[in-house]
Amino acid sequence: MNNIAIQKRIWIDTDITMGEKNGPFSYCDVDDGYAIASLLRSVEVDVVGVSSTLGNTDNINVSTRIATDFIAKYGPNSVQVSRGSSCPLKQCKVDDKPAAIEAMKQALEQGPLQILGIGAATNIALLLRHYPELKSNIQEVVLLAGRQSIDDHFISGSHQPKPFRDLNFEADPLAYAELLASGLNICLVPFEACSKVWIKQHDLLEMLGRSKVARHLAIKSEPWLVEWELVFGASGFNPFDMIAAAYCIRPQWFTIERWRAEIVQGESDTEKHAQKPYLICSEKLSSGPKVSYARVVSADCKDLLLERIKAHDMQHFVLGMSHVNIIVDDVAKASEFYSSALGFEQAFDDQGAIMDYQGVTMESFALDAGIENGEVDVDVRFMRHPQARLFLELMHYRKPQGKATLPPQPRTYDLGGPRHIALEVSNCTEVFNFLSEHEGVQMISSSSAYHPHKLDGFPITFFYWIDPYGVQWEMEEGRQVGLFRGIA
């Protein structure tokens, strides 16, 4: 795995309706699920939040419910789903501020953010209306939309009845107009790039026997694939949203142009005797703002992302070393020792707050640490080495009370290890489930109810386990790689 200094923070705005029926013999598309799964399993990015939007559905409750269920089953505890706007921008009232807007605001206040829009862009436009002062923290808005000409029609199959709509754009053209006028850094990932990537029957068969999320996607994709084969005359389906997610993960996969973009009116290619707006991005345009246009994607993209989705091992979850824990009899005295002896300094989190937590009594902390009655009283202080970039977590427990004297010092060649070594992971639940079934792994608690809990007031989840050689490990979720925050 490549060493990544700081992950790119990502917000996903999705109209996921995977598995919903769109008619008696028709299903909603499944590609949002592929996009979200690939982002959650990519070390290059840190998904900080998800919001629901319209597009695949006209009912915001549907996309909210499915997004919430998907994240609950396959996402990390630190990622929450926020309900987006229930109507397009032109129908919104001046004071409309759905939960998604406040959640995105909070994420932007914590640092720069790339927003992936794989549905109607209503939430993003509302964010700009209510909080224009946060625009500078939006690094880029990536949108699945656009074409080079009105004459470019979205056809994927040999006997497709009519072209696909540019759905995300057409679901709320006014939102796109406001984004284009905002001066934001925008990247369009168009149909022409996505239409070269296919998921076929053999891909779904391979997914069935791999990870839980891959199996879920494969099962949900089967009726969608059949519909593409029978109705559109295609031998597979295009995972449109996954290709937009691929741009967030690795822009180097794409041939990117800097062209002007504008919205124009023209005769509809999806409805007879009607006009509709088109989002055009072309080197031929002389008006409109310049945007990035990701028109070609590497052939390697699909296989690598599907492999990440299918992976049933630890490689895609372990992000790096988090900290070394040491149990001490006095946090202040131990801090002085490690400062004078080795040069450690007081640590601060990514918001500049001191990482010194006195008298921690959170039940969730106790349960994660295997203290089954939930009672704990512990002082926690983090120290950071300025050169080695290593963190120490010094802990003094008042409750429960452990042994007050050190055990005999093991010899160099005796089995044993530090109190625990902490690894940062991207999804505590997935890792817990994997290790629970791994030979030689002993969880810190023998209770069948033991599982990772999210700490109260912190985006941190962790659990402890012991390996066959007596080393205690902590698997921790919720810290962005390259930064440091919170408690564990």
232 CB-side CA count, 13 A: 19
* DSSP-assigned beta bridge partners for residue 453: 462
Q: Does the domain spanning 407-487 belong to CATH 3.40.30.10?
A: no
| Rounded alpha-carbon distances, angstroms, from residue 102 to 105, 127, 267, 461 | 5, 8, 38, 23
CA proximity to 472, closest of 432, 417, 435, 401: 417
Q: Domain limits of the chain?
A: 8-316, 320-405, 407-487
Is pLDDT at 337 greater than 90 in this prediction?
Answer: no
Mean pLDDT of the region 428-433:
91
Mean pLDDT of the region 351-361:
94
Task: Report which listed range, 257-271, 324-338, 391-405, is most confident.
Answer: 257-271
Is pLDDT at 2 greater than 60 in this prediction?
Answer: no
Is pLDDT at 289 greater than 90 in this prediction?
Answer: yes
Mean pLDDT of the region 372-401:
92
Overall fold of domain 8-316:
Inosine-uridine Nucleoside N-ribohydrolase; Chain A (3.90.245)
Detail the DSSP E strand segments found in 133-185. Answer: 138-144
The answer to whether 66 and 17 are in contact (CB under 8 A) is: yes
Domains 8-316 and 320-405 share a fold: no
If you write DSSP's letter for every residue of 246-303 in order, what string do you get? HHHH-GGGEEEEEEEEEEEEEE-SSSTT-EEEEEEEETT--SS-EEEEEEEE-THHHH
Q: How many residues does the chain have?
A: 488
pLDDT for residue 480 = 64
Mean pLDDT of the region 463-487:
73
The answer to whether 60 and 53 are in contact (CB under 8 A) is: yes
Residue with more model confidence, 485 or 208: 208
Task: Report which listed range, 361-365, 387-391, 437-441, is most confident.
Answer: 361-365
| Rounded alpha-carbon distances, angstroms, from residue 389 to 188, 194, 260, 337, 421 | 38, 41, 44, 18, 15
Q: Does the domain spanning 320-405 belong to CATH 3.10.180.10?
A: yes
pLDDT digits (tens, 9 = 90+) for 59-75: 999 999 999 999 999 99
Mean pLDDT across the chain: 91
Q: Give CA angle at 160 (231, 272), nearest 5°.
A: 120
pTM value?
A: 0.84
Q: How confident is the model at residue 400 (pLDDT cuts 50, 70, 90)?
A: very high
**What does the H/E/C string look like for 51-103?**
EECCCCCCCHHHHHHHHHHHHHHHCCCCCCEECCCCCCHHHCCCCCCCHHHHH
CA 60 from centroid of its chain's CA atoms: 20
Which is it for strands 391-399 and 377-384: parallel, antiparallel or unpaired? antiparallel
pLDDT digits (tens, 9 = 90+) for 191-247: 999 999 999 999 999 999 999 999 999 999 999 999 999 999 999 999 999 999 999
